[in-house]
Amino acid sequence: MKEIDESYMREALRMAAYARGRTSPNPLVGAVIVRDGTIIASGWHRAAGEPHAEIHALRMAGELARGATLYVTLEPCTHHGRTGPCAEAVIAAGIARVVVALSDPNPLVAGRGLAMLRAAGIETETGVCEHEARRQNEVFLKWVTTKRPFVTLKTAMTLDGKIASHTGASQWITGEAARARVHIYRDVHDAILVGIGTVLADDPSLTTRLPDRTGHNPLRIVLDSEARTPIDAKLLTDGAASTVIAVSERADHRRVNLLHSCGAEVVTLGAERPEIGQLLDWLGAREISSIFVEGGAQVNWSFLAGGFVDKVHAFIAPLLMGGAAAPTPIGGTGFDSPQTALHLSDVTVEQVGADILITGYPCAEGR
């Protein structure tokens, strides 16, 4: 029975993934309904405010749902939000058994959905493919429990750890396939963040450019203590997405007003430099649930040293740049020893074109 449940749950997880990057601040949820060993209906949550996965599946199944088994990747909700409670719909449809991958930590749900189903006489099972479901909904789980966005840090470097040559030349260290992957990552994040150094050096657009479909352009965020962002920067003139500039109290008020007049939203967070913790709180309150950090060495260090990074994507190109003064991905003072350095867990290694992509999750015990 366990293997059968896992097989159907993986199909529900596959359905949920169709909406990756489109449901914020809601979770990714997939559902399948099984009757007599056959999937008779399926559904997934498409966007906040639209019907949940269970509702799509129940509508497809119709009367065939009575007596069937529902597999759903997240506990059915019980509250009235943008949509009605799914647990009530499941009961009304006559579902006999519900298998759930993950209990919902949302305080508005938090076990109430499962309790309601059990009270109605429905058999329930939880924890099926729980690890996969947690990874799939890592963004939602972080935001709903902390009200801060999930932070992914991306770096790209040569084999000897350089992000540019000693002259500052950096285009292109990684190959076309790796750069295309970065745009896929941008597409599924709510926001993308860089420092003022990147803006001044590269004048980036920070948009999503996918070859086969229109991408989602994330909110653009610049850490800019002194409000130095040029008024003719692409971030302010291309109209492709909204731009937030985080400044400090020492920013010149005339520059702040000028940036406002250019269409940027300017927020003051911190006395000497923008405080990242305050920024994350501010963004979380605005239902920004994920940030993709593509900063330079100092920005990257600030996020890592503060313990703000939840996930790391590190691209490594088969190049040897050399140069004692050539910049590296992480600046700042650095950690004191290998023992105190930030360690990654749950690491995966993948070849992307000619480059290597290492993905991992910072773990506290490595600090």
Q: Which residues are catalytic?
A: 54
Q: Give the C-alpha distances (Å, rounded to integers) separating 134 from 139, 326, 347.
A: 9, 39, 16
Q: What is the side-by-side strand order in the sheet with 30-35? A: 38-44, 30-35, 69-72, 97-100, 123-126
How many Cβ atoms from other residues are within 10 Å of residue 315's Cβ?
Answer: 25
Contacts of 43 (CB under 8 A, 6+ apart): 15, 30, 31, 51, 53, 54, 55, 56, 57, 58, 59, 60
* Angle between the N-to-C axes of helices 53-61 and 2-16, in degrees from 0 to 180, rounded to the nearest 10: 110
- Residue pair 60/51 in contact (Cβ under 8 Å)? The answer is no
Angle, vertex CA 17, rays to CA 357 and CA 95, nearest 5: 150
Give the DSSP letter of residue 229: -
Phi, psi of 80 (to 5 degrees): -90, 110
- HSE-CB at 95 with a 13 A cutoff on CA atoms is 33
How many angstroms separate the CA atoms of 161 and 125, rounded? 47
How many angstroms separate the CA atoms of 302 and 287, rounded? 23
Structure tokens at 192: 């993308």
